[in-house]
C-alpha cells in the first residue's frame, strides 16, 4: 500500500481545481505553418509561424502577434510525412481563437483535413525505365520483350 502525506493529497487536489483542465492531452510538436485571421468570412491578416503543441481538440501556435478572441483562424501546417513517400502534405485547420498572449495563440479546432501539395516533376507519373528494372518481375518482362524483338 502506498503511503501518501497530507501535503501530497492537498497538492493533487489543487492540480485538479486550478491546474491542467483540458480534456485532451497536448503533444509538443514544432511545425512551420501559415495562418489567416478571419472574421465574418473575410481574411483580415495573414502571416507565418510555428506550432507549439497539439491536441485532438486544439492547437497552440506562435504567430508573433496577438489575435482577438472569438475570431476565426485558418492554419496550413506543413506536415513532416510524405504521402506514399512522394507527395508533401499539409494539415489545414479551421478554428476559433480562445486565447492570445505574448504572440502565442490557442485555437479550438472546428474542422481539419489533410491535403497534398504539388509534387516535383521528377516524382510525377510512372517511374523511369531504370527504376522499373530494379523490380525482378518487371525486369523479367523487359528481358522477354527484348528477346521477342530479336526473334
Predicted confidence at residue 117, as pLDDT, reads 87
Q: How far apart are CA 33 and CA 51, in angstroms?
A: 7
Q: Scanning the structure block, which residue is given the C-alpha cell 480562445? A: 98
Task: Evaluate whether residue 75 is within a structural domain.
Answer: yes
Find the length of the chain.
151
Average pLDDT, the chain: 77
Structural domain of 25: 21-120
Q: Is the pLDDT of residue 7 over 50?
A: no
In a domain, 140, yes or no: no
User: Residue 26's domain is classified under what CATH number?
Assistant: 2.40.10.220
Q: For the chain, where are the E strands, in sequence order? A: 27-28, 32-39, 42-54, 58-62, 72-83, 87-101, 104-116
Residue 10 lies in a domain: no
Q: pLDDT higher for 18 or 82? A: 82
Number of domains composing the chain = 1
Question: H/E element holding 95?
Answer: strand 87-101
The predicted model scores a pTM of 0.64
Cell numbers for 125: 507519373
Average pLDDT over residues 110-131: 66
Q: What is the pLDDT of residue 24?
A: 79
Task: Please report, rounded to a whole number, the percentage of residues in the chain having pLDDT higher than 90.
Answer: 58
Residue 127: inside a domain, yes or no? no
The answer, yes or no, to whether residue 100 has pLDDT greater than 90, is yes
Encode pLDDT of 62-85 as tens digits: 999 999 999 999 999 999 999 999
- 39 within a domain of the structure (yes/no): yes
Identify which has the larger pLDDT, 98 or 18. 98
Is-contact 115 90, C-beta < 8 A? yes
Reference 57, options 114, 110, 115; nearest CA is 110
**Residue 59 domain flag:** yes
Q: Is the CB of residue 49 less than 8 Å from the CB of residue 35?
A: yes
Amino acid at each position: 500500500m502506498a503511503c501518501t502525506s497530507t501535503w501530497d493529497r492537498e497538492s493533487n487536489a489543487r492540480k485538479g481545481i486550478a491546474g491542467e483542465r483540458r480534456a485532451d492531452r497536448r503533444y509538443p510538436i514544432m511545425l512551420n505553418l501559415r495562418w489567416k485571421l478571419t472574421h465574418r468570412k473575410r481574411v483580415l491578416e495573414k502571416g507565418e509561424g510555428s506550432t507549439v503543441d497539439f491536441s485532438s481538440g486544439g492547437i497552440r501556435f506562435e504567430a508573433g502577434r496577438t489575435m482577438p478572441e472569438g475570431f476565426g483562424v485558418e492554419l496550413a501546417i506543413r506536415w513532416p510525412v510524405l504521402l506514399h513517400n512522394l507527395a508533401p502534405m499539409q494539415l489545414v485547420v479551421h478554428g476559433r481563437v480562445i486565447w492570445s498572449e505574448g504572440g502565442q495563440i490557442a485555437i479550438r479546432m472546428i474542422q481539419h483535413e489533410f491535403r497534398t501539395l504539388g509534387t516535383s516533376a521528377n516524382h510525377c507519373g510512372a517511374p523511369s525505365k531504370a527504376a522499373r528494372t530494379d523490380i525482378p518481375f518487371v525486369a523479367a518482362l523487359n528481358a522477354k520483350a527484348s528477346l521477342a524483338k530479336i526473334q
